[in-house]
Structure 1
């Protein structure tokens, strides 16, 4: 399943473009693919297909005077695909872990995902965001925001309250990750762990000073 490439708007100033691998992680039905569809096309569908294995998409956004090309792997959340996830995130520059705030079990699993990424990623500076999805169903919330906030602060995560249905904070989620990325994409030494495409560069550059690696609770 692929939603296609969505590039930055025509006529915008051209800046250096770098490809950063980003992986979406989380249990089944938490809304990973819906978040991605909202980010790529600003659309929402109740009939979205279940991801099998992983789906690949790209989108380029502007951040800190540069064009950041996200190379996004949307991974399946079913248990039978769980063992495949490290193949996608080990060489990633960023990971977005999603949970359904109306389902406490998915938050517990999200914590496991975060710790797994931190302990096994080949990138010691991987940017990790935590998306508390389905904010439009706040009346059914099972995970107190304070609990998510405490975990994010403890682990140094970029935390946002999101809704793929309404679009709340979805763009900000990816913009926040882009702001935290270093100037250069992570390149793993191990062969076969990185999936990238060749991208050109044009005149202009950032200030060479990456921001803090992570921040919490926007």
Structure 2
């Protein structure tokens, strides 16, 4: 008999300044590739991924938001109801780091029970680094969030980041999990119909 797999859907929103690599992180996770010439996201883009963790299927509904200032007012529409927020900054851009913590403060004030992760992207560019590990650690002391440095371009820590997110979601208390999980192996087979015979 096949083992039953419980399937859970979670909403993940990606926030951060323009050009920090939000879309590239999502694309690297979903498509396993990097596009050097991504156009800026307008409004938001949607991706989904399915990950098996601890005999649970963790389905991520990923909302990649635009980072330009003119779209900032739309962000609450995307992070409302989010289970996870991934805030991204560019380690070669100090302003994007400072703005990341504005996002974190906003999420802490306006969301309930949302797991927050911080990604310092472009870690392949250590020689251009403007944000030190000490800066990050000093600021993280104020917040209860996970931090990881990534490079979408060089595929550094992308899988590790998303596996960590899925593992944390999988380990959440049963009260926090979505109601009525979909039991994948309990779905009855569909009838096949022949056409034109």
**Structure 1 residues 16 and 79, CA gap change in structure 2 (3 angstroms):** same
Unaligned runs of 5+ residues in structure 1 are 1-12, 188-197, 205-218
Correspondence list, 1:95-174, <5 A:
95-121=85-111, 123=112, 125-174=113-162
Instruction: Provide the alpha-carbon RMSD of the alignment.
Output: 2.0
Cα deviation for residue 168 of structure 1 reads 0.5
Deviation of 1:14 (Å) = 6.1
The equivalent position to 2:32 in structure 1, one of 42, 45, 57, is 42
Cα pair distance change 1:161/1:14, threshold 3 Å = farther
Residues 28, 63 of structure 1: alpha-carbon distance in 2 compared, 3 angstrom cutoff: same
CA distance in 2, matches of 1:153, 1:186: 30
- Whether 1:91 aligns to 2:64 is no
Greater share of strand residues, 1 or 2? 2
Alignment partner of 2:183 out of 189, 197, 201: 201
The separation in 1 between residues aligned to 2:80 and 2:140, in whole angstroms, is 21
Q: Is the 8 A contact 2:8 2:178 kept in 1?
A: no
Alignment size in residue pairs: 180
* Structure 2 residues not aligned, in runs of 5+: 187-197
Secondary structure at the aligned position of 1:154 is classed as coil
Structure with more of its chain in helix, by fraction: 2
Q: Provide TM-score, normalisation by structure 2.
A: 0.85
Structure 1 length-normalised TM: 0.77
